[in-house]
């Protein structure tokens, strides 16, 4: 009997242990089927709809994500709507009636998903008409960025009826849609009419073009109205900035030693000149081009009238006379206590040890403006021994702020060059001098580099062929009005060829103007990314436009 009890106890212990080690169920096959529509109110393609409530019912439980951004209702409704969940679906209640005799499209895009695997319900659309017919015309096309050639994702493509007084600067469009990841768009169920057509980088999601905001949205437009009496395909639009607003001064300030002028955007160039004095002011553009600094080299305490010229990256120009004022030095600090001065920092481009071309482009870079320089002290040594003559008037050039001095020289050397500027060569606006600058550079050897050459086939009389670094679209080199082009001494890497049709032959790309209905100068790209290896010469990179 005792043995039987022991056996029973061991059996119970084993059963309890087995029950404690419960394995997770393996489950069934992963759900990869998105929700399917089983019923809509009104029915798809319905005519003469008079209601203000729309319902969508699916074959499983759903969740709604970001409906206000994802749901596209065209044409634009007069009021707004509220969304309410119902069993396996949603209900939209509109606060104003739909327009009569109008075909409406509700495109839910990526807003509807199942609750288990988050599968997105594909192509969830509802089309109905408040009249006795469904409009069937469509416009299909692609939107790209003009200066990069890349697809423009989530760009707004919009239509405004030509005979309306509505415009893209103040009003929402009549029809609109968004581009996909490839920049492709489809405007469908359109009414026969005449339309102005736009594409827009709508950064603040208000469906309007904010031409004067700091974000400066990109835009494209067709120069002539689209007379829609048949469907259109392969409509191409290219986005670009059309900034026609000049820079604006936002604030001014001054202390003992300098006055500052702040701008609402970064400048390409900012200059200042005294209005009633013969001296040239010392100034600098800092903080990403948004701050113009004027140094108090005259020990001035009264107001000074100056003329400020500010040019932004789009070429818009501000010329304005303003008063600036420096604080009184005697009132704020002891004459015997000098102002602490920031040490002058120097750099060179190329830096020490970097290889160079025979056509030397060498720049001294300073953290503060230089007011005095002994340019005859700058020495170039061929193969570190023989002195190369330097003509300051021909070989040296300052930038507008006296913070960069560039040496341009054709070199006749065998192997290397040394550049030397001894201490005492450069003196800053604060009176301090740059430390000795000494760098050594070997010549680039042709076998370590590659070249890209080709022919441009075009009827355009004026153009610019640019070589771009593919990763960041940085312009590395360019030639003007040369159908046969070649770019030498290139590092291994990926490159693009970009062609600007220089319609006014001014050597730069000119933007468009929406208000004047003036298109930007055309920009085109070579057909492929060019992959260059060391010691390669790619000679057939032809572009036809």
How confident is the model at residue 412, as a pLDDT? 87
Smallest CA-to-CA distance from 56 within 76, 81, 80 is with 81
How confident is the model at residue 29, as a pLDDT? 66
Are 74 and 175 in contact by the 8 Å Cβ rule? The answer is yes
| CATH 2.60.40.420 fits domain 37-129 | no
pLDDT at 222 over 50: yes
Fold match flag (249-331 vs 346-444): yes
| CATH 2.60.40.1220 fits domain 346-444 | yes
| CATH 2.70.98.50 fits domain 249-331 | no
DSSP 486: E
Superfamily name and number for 137-241: Immunoglobulins (2.60.40.10)
**pLDDT category, 14, cuts 50, 70, 90?**
very low
Are 486 and 456 in contact by the 8 Å Cβ rule? The answer is no
What pTM was computed for the model? 0.81
pLDDT at 336 over 60: no
CB count in 10 Å sphere of residue 509 = 19
pLDDT more than 70, % of the chain? 91
How confident is the model at residue 328, as a pLDDT? 59
Mean pLDDT of 324-348: 68
Domain covering 448-544 in this structure, CATH number: 2.60.40.10
In a 10 Å sphere around its CB, with 0-12 CB exposed, 13-18 middle and 19+ buried, how is residue 368 labelled? Answer: buried
Strands 103-107 and 125-129: antiparallel
Domain locations along the chain = 37-129, 137-241, 249-331, 346-444, 448-544
pLDDT at 130 over 80: yes
How confident is the model at residue 92, as a pLDDT? 97
What is 380-396 written as a DSSP string?
Answer: EEETTTEEEP--HHHHE
Output the average pLDDT for the chain: 89
pLDDT at 3 over 70: no
How confident is the model at residue 335, as a pLDDT? 44
186-205 pLDDT, tens digit each: 999 999 999 999 999 988 88
Task: Give Cβ neighbours of residue 293 (< 8 Å, ≥ 6 apart).
Answer: 258, 259, 260, 283, 284, 285, 286
**pLDDT category, 339, cuts 50, 70, 90?**
low
460-504 pLDDT, tens digit each: 999 999 999 999 999 999 999 999 999 999 999 999 999 999 999
């Amino acid at each position: 009997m005792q043995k039987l009890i022991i056996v029973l106890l061991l059996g119970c212990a084993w059963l309890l242990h087995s029950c404690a080690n419960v394995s997770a169920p393996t489950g069934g096959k992963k759900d990869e089927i998105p929700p399917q529509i089983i019923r809509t109110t009104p029915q798809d393609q319905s005519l003469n709809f008079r209601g203000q409530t729309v319902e969508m019912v699916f074959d499983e439980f759903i969740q709604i994500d970001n409906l206000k951004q994802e749901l596209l209702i065209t044409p634009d409704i007069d009021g707004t709507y509220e969304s309410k969940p119902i069993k396996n679906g949603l209900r939209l209640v509109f606060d104003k009636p739909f327009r009569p005799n109008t075909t409406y499209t509700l495109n839910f895009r990526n807003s509807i998903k199942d609750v288990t695997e988050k599968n997105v319900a594909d192509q969830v659309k509802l089309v109905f008409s408040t009249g006795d017919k469904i409009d069937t015309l469509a416009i299909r096309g692609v939107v790209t960025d003009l200066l990069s050639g890349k697809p423009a994702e989530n760009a707004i493509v919009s239509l405004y009826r030509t005979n309306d007084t509505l415009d893209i600067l103040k009003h929402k469009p009549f029809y609109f849609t968004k581009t996909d990841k490839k920049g492709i768009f489809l405007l469908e169920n359109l009414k026969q009419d005449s339309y102005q057509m736009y594409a827009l980088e709508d950064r603040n999601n208000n469906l309007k073009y904010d031409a004067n905001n700091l974000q400066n949205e990109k835009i494209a437009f067709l120069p002539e109205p689209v007379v829609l009496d048949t469907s259109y395909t392969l409509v191409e639009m290219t986005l670009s900035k059309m900034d026609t607003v000049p820079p604006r001064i936002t604030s001014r300030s001054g202390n003992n030693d300098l006055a500052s002028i702040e701008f609402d955007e970064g400048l390409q160039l900012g200059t200042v000149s005294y209005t009633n004095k013969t001296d040239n002011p010392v100034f600098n553009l800092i903080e990403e081009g948004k701050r113009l600094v004027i140094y108090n080299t005259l020990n001035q305490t009264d107001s000074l009238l100056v003329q400020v010229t500010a040019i932004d990256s789009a070429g818009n120009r501000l010329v304005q006379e303003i008063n600036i004022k420096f604080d009184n030095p005697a009132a704020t600090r002891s004459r015997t206590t000098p102002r602490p001065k920031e040490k002058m920092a120097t750099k060179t481009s190329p830096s020490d040890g970097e290889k160079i071309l025979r056509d030397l482009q060498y720049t001294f870079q300073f953290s503060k403006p230089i007011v005095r320089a002994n340019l005859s002290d700058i020495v170039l040594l061929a193969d570190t021994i023989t002195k190369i003559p330097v003509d300051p008037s021909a070989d040296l050039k300052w930038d507008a702020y006296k913070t960069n001095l560039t040496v341009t020289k054709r070199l006749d050397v065998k192997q290397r060059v040394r550049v030397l500027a001894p201490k005492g060569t450069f003196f800053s606006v604060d009176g301090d001098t740059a430390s000795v600058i000494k760098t050594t550079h070997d010549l680039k050897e042709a076998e370590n580099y590659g070249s890209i050459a080709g022919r441009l086939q075009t009827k355009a009389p004026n153009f610019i062929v640019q070589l771009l670094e593919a990763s960041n679209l940085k312009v590395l080199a360019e030639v003007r009005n040369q159908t046969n082009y070649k770019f030498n001494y290139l590092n291994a890497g990926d490159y693009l060829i970009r062609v600007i049709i220089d319609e006014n032959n001014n050597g730069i790309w000119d933007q468009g103007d929406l208000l004047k209905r003036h298109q930007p100068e055309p920009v085109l790209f070579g057909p492929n990314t060019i992959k260059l290896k060391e010691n390669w010469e790619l000679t057939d990179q032809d572009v036809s436009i």
